[in-house]
Structure 1
Amino acid sequence: MSSPQCAAAIVAQLLAQGVRDVVLAPGSRSAPLALALARAESSGSLRLHVRYDERSAGFLALGLAKGGGVPVAVVTTSGTAVGNLLPAVMEAHHAQVPLVVISADRPAALVGFGANQTTDQARLFEPFVRWSARVSSGAPAASWTAQAAKACLIAAGPASRHPGPVHLNVELAEPLVGDSDQPVVRPVRQPAAAGAEPVTLPAGPRTLLICGDASPAVGAVVARLARAAGLPLVAEPSSNARCAALRTGRLLLAGALADQVERVVVFGHPTLSRPVNRLLARADVELIVVSANADWVDPGWRASLVVRGVAFEGADADPDWLEQWTAADAEVGDALDRLLAAQSALTGPAVAAKVLACVGDGALVLGSSQPIRDADLAAETPAEVFANRGLAGIDGTVSTAVGIATAVGRPVTLLCGDLTYLHDVNGLAVGLGERRPDLRIVVADDGGGSIFATLEYGEALYADAFERVFATPSGVDVALLTEAHGVPVRRVATAAELQQALQAPIVGTDVVVVTVDRTGRRTLNEAVNALVNQQ
């Protein structure tokens, strides 16, 4: 059997498993895979996205999988090219995103003998992938399709309820091109496992629902449950459940109402709030985790019950419970609006509020660090919301947003900070002939990492070292750097200018750089957190 036949069989199996988007970073050893993918694209069987930067390619595939909700493959050549996928694989692992990594390799017998571009890459992602396999062009042909089928099934997670990244290391022997490029075996199909019925919980204990980062489908389920059960819901911006949630839930958890909570039901992956973490760690609170996967969220090891779904028995025993939360939410929300309106300079929360108000029925991507926390203070938006909260890092945010915008097929807005943008500005670099999606990137440019001013390191005690080792201002002209990538950019410095920029139609990719003052960030954060105790 030949390497072209092996590559053709793998691509055919990807198509049989429902993969419709593949990201390719070209190279020599991966030539059989590249040619097979090009043929599949020519036949209309898949959409091929070509990137010359493997790290960006990985996050583009991640964004495509996040936005589409189905497995997406990313293909690289051998050597350091594979290593550049590690950040995206780590994020996919913790965020449970179905990413299929296919790395071309030389035959295993050449590892350790100085062959060009050859290393022990088959085990590179072991701590972070659901499954990995070596696929050899010299092995029986049936093994090619079987391994590709298993990889797609495990990545999608229907059997294990635990989607995430998988890795196929494909050992391709020379010759890499030839006439025998048709698959010699038929693709196989793997059935998905059925789900379990929800567990009915007894009414009675004063219950609070918490939803962290979650897909739009999970968020919709949580929102319906909160409304049907008449229970207060604290939901993060990327939960996709904010339509049924308390706007100021994070702030209310620092007040007296939180002391009355007797039971918490957790959905998604909450990572944003220390008050939430403190609540989940309380010994007097019953903790129930809802997760369809084996990798459930319980960092305090306190969950008394882990289930795939829940329902509540009858109405809540305390009809005033929800009313207390909604009344407090309204009071604190009004006070928050007055506080933010009184700020003389354009602040991060003000930028987030404007962005969320203008997204409409598009989709929103939130960068980690401060922007997603600023969005947590804003009113809910009808848009689907995405964020890389698996590991809550800033790496690859632009490329992820490009992938999401390409997948969802409607206008998308990314809100991120200047350091997050600079970290992945290369996500704007696409080859000639590659289409740019309808994506608006709003950069809250506060000249550094303002989130650190809100933490312990922002205290006056550490002022001498703060700017250099925490805030790390870059001094880069973000707008000029954007122009160098051939992307239209607009600078704004006032709320009116921002409003005007956001109201313009999103056609292709553009960037809005917003000058934000961070000198008063710590003082503003303290004032916001104090609101709950002033009502």
Structure 2
Amino acid sequence: MSQHAPSQQAAIAQTLIHTCTRFQVVNFFVSPGSRSTPLLLAALSHPQVRLHRIVDERGAAYAALNFARASSQPVAVITTSGTAAGNLMPAVMEADRAGIPLLLLTADRPPELLGVGANQTTRQKDLFLNLVRASWQLPTGNHETPALNEIARQLSECLVKLDHPLPGPVHINCPFREPFFLEAIDPPRITIPLRDAPEEPDLPDAILARVRSAKRPLITLGRIETVKEQSLLAPILQHLRLPIYTDIGSGFRLTQFPSHVSGLELIIQSTKFCPQPPDFVLHIGSYTVSKHYWQWLTSQSQTPQICQLSFRGESVNPMLIPTHYHDRLRPEQIASILQECTKLPANDWLTSTIPHTMSDMMENVSPPWLPPLMQQLPCPASFFFGNSSVPRYFQLFALPSQPQPVPVAINRGVSGIDGNLHSLLGWTLGNELPAIAVMGDLTFYHDLNALPFLSKLPFPLLIIVLNNAGGSIFYNLPIASHSEICDYWFACRDAVELPIPDLARTFNFQYHCIE
């Protein structure tokens, strides 16, 4: 090894961090570890970088993911080697499915320590290969190391894929040799070849022609991942005169606007009031929480035409309905198409079939805690929902009551119940708004080590834990008929008898119990 390798290693780490900032990656979530020291020192020395310390790597990745979701900017997570890198996997799976730009910087042992029994060592190169948009390993500091400009160029080839052509995670594996703790060096003077975004398709006029020719058009807003995307659509919705169905993950389910169809899930399950399905659906965003919605679309012999406008290339077709996809559209293009729809004549075919007493019916059957919560919701504020039953409660029963969009985050890409409290942490830091989190007891139980960090947030925070005896959603499935199996092996009722009052006192939360 060259005697200049330590300084060269520091220069490589600083080149990496400097290149990240050129791609708007300025927020780094860091977990403690020795092997990642060069990355931490390089980040600490860069004036644009903001560091966030999270002790648990799995939690750090979830926090970074949801910070990116809230801020609409790519975010990085730095880990040491070994299982620390493996702990990123759940959040990487979510970032892949949700199309969130999450940069994974995993420190590693140098190549000569692989396969020889070295401690805390595994094969980390391409660890997330099937889930990331790009994967690359930094060169180690030796006489064969490429020039810093060449390293920056190759890093740029990877980092541009955080956002283009399909947003998602990128992995850079970073082998470092000891010693790590080095004197700071001047940042390398490098020129980074920034890339323009790939060419996007022109605005498809055919979409407007399909909407115009439909007798029963419906605009569906599926899950919309980032606050930026939600904010682009928000001012347009007030002027649309076509019926609009919103998913709880869209950020608009709780918002009042003239053509908003609320209570649709309850209506389409009714044999008395169920309306005829649409003949054309303009679907914006990703998948929806409601399965009944998709069953309704396919309830007639002739299924509707569906045209999906995708922010991040995800296809939405769980019932295998023939669908026209327009993927890889920029948010501004989708907003432009929706803006053109405001010129179309009013069509109330769906809203006219829903009983005027629907709002009263929804309040009568909703969980008793939900209407008071919506009536006292601070403005502005944001929501974070755990998975399983909670988003379904809001999708079914929450009435649109807010004059402005309420940002909503759900880890709905692969619907895990782990890491939700750390996700709430990152979401709130990225939004810088008062936050309300609603989750079940089993979800809360999964991520208790986030509580000390949440208690130090500089923003008002309300966490609502539903004491639903563990995995209550399993009682809606056929296994519920075998109660002795369901209680123990699925709902885990005995495993989540948490001393929540004691936890609240320990971490300086106010606690209230609502019977």
Which position in structure 2 is the counterpart of 1:421? 444
Partner amino acid, structure 1, of 2:501: A
Q: Which residue of 1 aligns with 2:313?
A: 294
Q: What does the per-residue CA deviation read over 1:242-288, in whole Å, with 9 as the maximum and x for residues that have no partner?
A: 33432212223335554342112212222411112324556521111
Distance 2:500 2:454 in 1: 21
- Aligned-residue offset at 1:169: 0.3
2:10 to 4, 10, 21: 4
Q: CA contact under 8 A between 1:286 and 1:304: conserved in structure 2?
A: yes
| Matched residue, 2:497 | 475
Range with greater deviation from structure 2 (448-457 or 19-28): 448-457
Partner residue of 1:332 out of 340, 353, 358: 358
1:261 to 278, 291, 301: 278
Residue type of the alignment partner of 2:218: L
Q: 1:250 matched to which residue of 2?
A: 265
**Retained in 2: the 8 A contact 1:107–1:172?**
yes
The match for 2:175 is 171
Question: How many percent of aligned residue pairs carry the same amino acid?
Answer: 28
SS in 1 for 2:318: coil
2:188 maps to what in 1? 184
Q: How far, CA to CA, are the matches of 1:28 and 1:169 in structure 2? A: 15
Work out whether residues 204 and 317 of structure 1, in 8 Å CA contact, stay in contact via their aligned partners in 2: no
Deviations 1:476-507 (A, max 9, x none): 222223333x231312225xxxxxxxxxxxxx
Q: Taking structure 1 as reference, are residues 479 and 212 closer, same or farther at Cα in structure 2, changes over 3 Å only?
A: farther
How far 1:86 sits from its partner (Å)?
0.7
Q: Tell me the CA shift for residue 453 of structure 1.
A: 2.3
CA distance in 2, matches of 1:62, 1:482: 26
Q: 1:90 aligns with which of 74, 93, 99?
A: 93
Shift of residue 85 of structure 1?
Answer: 0.8
- Deviations along 1:127-161, one digit per CA (max 9) or x if unpaired, are 21111111113331224322433333211x1x31x
User: How far apart in 1 are the matches of 2:501 and 2:203?
Assistant: 50
Find the counterpart in structure 1 of residue 478 from structure 2: 456
Distance 1:297 1:224, change over 3 A: farther
Counterpart residue number, 2:158: 151
Q: Distance in 2 between matches of 1:438 and 1:219?
A: 22
Structure 2 match to 1:69: 72
Indicate whether 1:37 and 2:65 are aligned.
no
| Cα-to-partner distance string for 1:273-327 (whole Å, 9 max, x where unaligned) | 11123245565211111113333222344343112444567866783414425x4
Query: Could you tell me whether the CA contact under 8 Å between 1:55 and 1:88 is conserved in 2?
Result: yes
**Which of 196, 220, 224 lines up with 1:210 in the alignment?**
220
Q: 1:445 aligns with which of 464, 467, 475?
A: 467
Partner Cα distance (1:469, 1:280) in 2 = 35
The CA deviation at 1:25 is 0.8
| 1:400 counterpart SS class | helix
> For residues 435 and 363 of structure 1, what CA distance do their matches in structure 2 show?
14
CA distance in 1, matches of 2:378, 2:472: 24
Aligned partner of 1:356 in structure 2 is: 374
SS of residue in 2 equivalent to 1:414: strand
Give the Cα separation in 1 of the matches to 2:234 and 2:457. Answer: 36
Q: CA deviation at 1:113?
A: 1.6
Aligned pair in 2 of structure 1 residues 49, 216: CA closer, same or farther (>3 Å)?
closer
Work out which of the residue numbers 233, 237, 245 in structure 1 matches 2:248. 237
CA distance in 1 between counterparts of 2:118 and 2:61 reads 26
For residues 318 and 192 of structure 1, what CA distance do their matches in structure 2 show?
37
Amino acid at match of 2:14: A
For residue 119 of structure 1, report the CA deviation from its aligned partner: 1.0
TM-score for both structures, normalised by structure 2: 0.85
Q: Matches of 2:40 and 2:309 in 1, distance apart? A: 41
Secondary structure of the corresponding residue to residue 93 of structure 1: helix
Residues 1:365 and 2:384 are matched in the alignment: yes
Contact 1:102/1:168 (CA < 8 Å) preserved in 2? yes
Q: 1:179 to 1:164 in 2, by over 3 A?
A: same
Separation in structure 1 between the aligned mates of residue 240 and residue 295 of structure 2, nearest angstrom: 24
1:6 match: secondary structure: helix
Q: Which amino acid aligns with 1:481?
A: L
Shift of 1:78: 0.6
- Return the offset for 1:11: 1.0
Find the residue that maps to 2:92 and give its secondary structure.
Answer: helix
Residue 429 of structure 1 aligns to a residue whose secondary structure is helix
Whether contact under 8 Å (2:363, 2:371) holds in the other structure is no
Residue 76 of structure 1 deviates from its aligned partner by 0.4
Cα shift at 1:195: 4.4
Unaligned runs of 5+ in 2: none
Alignment partner of 2:429 out of 395, 406, 410:
406
- Counterpart of 2:251, as a letter, is N
- Report how many aligned residue pairs link the two structures: 474
Preserved CA contact (<8 Å) 1:226 1:232: no
Query: Could you say what secondary structure the match of 1:148 adopts?
Result: helix
**Is 1:16–1:187's contact at 8 Å kept on the other side of the alignment?**
no
Write the letter of the residue equivalent to 2:293.
V
198-207 or 316-325, larger mean C-alpha shift? 316-325
Q: Which residue of 1 aligns with 2:304?
A: 285
Partner of 1:387: 410
Q: Give yes or no for contact 2:382–2:434 (8 Å, CA) kept in 1.
A: yes
- Where 2:45 maps in the other structure, the secondary structure is helix
Partners of 2:230 and 2:268 in 1: how far apart? 21
Equivalent positions of 1:42-57 (< 5 A) are 43=47, 45-57=48-60
Q: Which range moved further: 164-173 or 189-198?
A: 189-198
Whole-angstrom distance in 1 between the partners of 2:288 and 2:452: 31
Q: Which amino acid aligns with 1:235?
A: T
Question: Aligned in 2, Cα 1:316/1:324: closer, same or farther, shift over 3 Å?
Answer: farther
The 1:279/1:124 distance shift into structure 2, 3 A limit, reads farther
The correspondence for 2:203, drawn from 193, 198, 202, is 198
Q: Deviations over 1:354-382 (max 9, x none)?
A: 33332321111111111211122112343
Preserved CA contact (<8 Å) 2:135 2:171 = yes
Give per-residue Cα distances to partners, 1:94-115, cap 9 Å, x unaligned. 1111110000112223321212
**CA separation in 2, counterparts of 1:124 and 1:284?**
42
- The residue that corresponds to 1:525 in the other structure is none
Give the match for residue 493 of structure 1.
514
What is the aligned-residue RMSD (CA, Å)? 2.6
* TM-score for both structures, normalised by structure 1: 0.82
Shift of residue 228, structure 1, vs aligned partner? 4.2
Give the conservation status (yes or no) of the 8 Å contact 2:384–2:435.
Answer: yes
Contact conserved, 2:243 with 2:348, CA < 8 A, in 1?
no
Q: Which amino acid aligns with 1:145?
A: A
- Tell me the residue number matched to 1:523: none
Alpha-carbon distance change, 68 to 318 in structure 1, aligned in 2, over 3 angstroms: closer
2:141 counterpart of 1:126: no
- Out of 366, 387, 394, the residue aligned to residue 375 of structure 1 is 394
1:272 and 2:286 are equivalent in the alignment: no
